[in-house]
Every structure is written in C-alpha cells, then in structure tokens.
Amino acid sequence: MPLHLVTWNVNSVRARLDNVLTFLDEHEPDVLCLQETKVEDRLFPRVPFMDYGYTVTLHGTKGYAGVATISKSAPSEIHCGFRTAPEDRAPRILNTVIDGVRIYNLYVPNGTALDSDAFPYKLEWFQRLEAEIKATCGAAQEVIVTGDFNIAPDARDVWDLEAMKDSLHFTAEEHEALAGLLSCGLRDCFRKHSEEAGQFTWFDYRNAAFQRGHGLRIDHVYATGGLYERSSRVLHDAEPRSWESPSDHLPVHAWFD
DNA sequence: ATGACACGCCGAGCGTGA
C-alpha cells in the first residue's frame, strides 16, 4: 500500500492554521506529522482537519513543544511520550500505528546551549528513545521515525561548516546520539535519493536567511529496511515559505511505493 | 555580533527556539 507522509514543524498550529489547511488541501498526504503545535489538546483546532476527512491524534501542552499526527486512516495504536517512566518534561513523542506502519512523530529537544542543562537532557532523551525503539525495530513491523531532529547529520547539511563546528545541532555528542538511535537499521530516506549538499529544511527568520540559502537540514524521515526500499522520493517543499507568515521549517514529503 | 525574527504568555517584556 503506497504511503505519502509529510513531516512539518509548523511553529504554532494556530498561528499557521491557514497555511497548514492550504497545504493539506493541495497535497492530501496520507499522514501529516506536525511539531511545535504549541497548544493544549482541548484547544487544538481539530474541526477543520476533520472536515477534510482526517483523524487527529494529539500530544500537546500550553504554549510550547507539542506534536500532532493527522492521518486519513485512524491509528490502531497510540502512545504519547516515552513508554516507560519517568514522563518526559515536554510533549515530544507521538507513537502511532497507521495502516500497519509504526510512525514515531518526534520533536527532539533543541538543547538551547551547550552549557545549559537542556543539552544533557537532549542527549539523555536520545538514549531513552534509542532503548525504546530498539525493542520495536527487531520485530517484524516496519517503522518510520520522523520529525524535527534538531541535528544536522553531516557537513552537507549545514550552510556554514566553519560557523557550525562544535556548535549546537552539529556537535560530536549529538552526532553520536543520532547514530545510536539509527543503529537498529533506520536509514535516511532523503539520502537514498540525493547526495547533494545545501538541501535544507530550516532557515532562520532573521537576516533573510531563506533568500540567502543559509539553513540546516534538521527535519528527517528515517525508515527500516522494507520501507526504506519502498522510498521513491523525498522533497523539501519550499513553496509554503513564500506564503504569508510562514513557518521557519519547510514541510518534508516522503513517498513510499 | 550580547544583533536580527517569531511564537505564546492574563496584557509587557521575557523565555524559547535553532
């Protein structure tokens, strides 16, 4: 069964509602994984999504972080956050099974600054997720892990290598944490189709970064073996960036045959 | 570049993002 999945950090679903609905109407993906919804579940604008025929699955809180998985088929299984205690300090993980595929929709902690306590939290967060996903990946079920990873994997994924060296989103510790998470057989669908450098998914609002091509590739789609083989195309969609009041992230499409 | 820009927050600057 073919699958068209999109991941998009929308930087507030309410501030971006018109953009998101326009996008949904235009592309009709099977699954839309949103991050940074910045709204508690009872105030999420579910109705317009339901009017488009989608099921809305939420894990949010007031004002910051938050994830939502919008899907044509209703999930057969839903887990919010880590599956083992203690609870995460923010809503960042929505783990659903949709049409037989387990989909982890992630908003990875930013890390804030290397000398802040948010940085070790980011690294520990990856270790917890790795332990959880390793228990799943071994099973027969195919897995997609997608979302805003807040890590640029390698030199091709940053606009200024010198400036990014040893800085947040591009440290050896973060690269190790990401490698650990992926070591159970998750592979980068974008890199299946392109070795090109400078293909970014995030551009700072400041300093005309988008116009200058100053960005990072931090929004990713990873898949296990069978699904990775079925990955036919990945697209960083620049069109919504030209709309009024855009998100600082592009939506990333992933098609599976 | 301690910069910029944008979000939500019981309402004005501030924390946060990347």
Q: Which bases of chain B are contacted by protein, using any atom under 7 A from a CB? A: 3-9, 15-18
From A54, A107, A222, A228, the catalytic residue:
A107
Percent of chain A with pLDDT over 90: 93
Q: Tell me the pLDDT band of A140, cut-offs 50, 70 and 90.
A: confident
The gap between A21 CA and B12 C1' (Å) is 32
Domain that holds residue A86: 3-256
A107 labelled catalytic: yes
From A30, A148, A157, A219, the catalytic residue:
A148
User: The pTM is what?
Assistant: 0.96
The secondary structure of residue A87, as a DSSP letter, is: P
Q: Which two tokens stand for residue A210?
A: 């988008």
How many structural domains are present in chain A? 1
CATH number of residue A60's parent domain: 3.60.10.10
The gap between A14 CA and B9 C1' (Å) is 15
Q: Which nucleotide is nearest to A169 (CA to C1')?
A: B18
Residue lying closest to nucleotide B4, CA to C1': A206
In whole angstroms, give the CA distance from residue A220 to residue A252: 8
Tell me: the pLDDT tens digits for A186-226? Answer: 999 999 999 999 999 999 999 999 999 999 999 999 999 99
The gap between A64 CA and B2 C1' (Å) is 25
In whole angstroms, give the CA distance from residue A154 to residue A253: 21
The gap between A180 CA and B7 C1' (Å) is 32
Question: What pLDDT, on a 0 to 100 scale, did the predictor assign at position A130?
Answer: 96
Q: Which nucleotide is nearest to A246 (CA to C1')?
A: B6
Question: What pLDDT, on a 0 to 100 scale, did the predictor assign at position A135?
Answer: 84
A148 labelled catalytic: yes
Q: Which nucleotide is nearest to A9 (CA to C1')?
A: B17
Tell me: the pLDDT tens digits for A150-186? Answer: 999 999 999 999 999 999 999 999 999 999 999 989 9
Question: What pLDDT, on a 0 to 100 scale, did the predictor assign at position A75?
Answer: 98
CB under 7 Å from any atom of strand B: which residues? A 9, 11-12, 14-15, 36, 38-40, 62-65, 109-110, 112-113, 118, 148, 150, 168-169, 202, 204-207, 216, 218, 245, 248-249
Does A5 score more than 70 pLDDT? yes
Q: Tell me the pLDDT band of A141, cut-offs 50, 70 and 90.
A: confident
In whole angstroms, give the CA distance from residue A84 to residue A171: 28
Tell me what percent of chain A is helix, strand and coil, each rounded to the nearest 5. 30, 25, 40
Q: What is each CA distance from A248 to A87, A153, A202, in whole angstroms?
A: 29, 19, 6
The gap between A237 CA and B5 C1' (Å) is 21
Q: What is each CA distance from A95 to A62, A133, A143, A200, in whole angstroms?
A: 20, 10, 10, 26
Q: Which nucleotide is nearest to A152 (CA to C1')?
A: B18
Cβ atoms within 10 Å, residue A48: 14
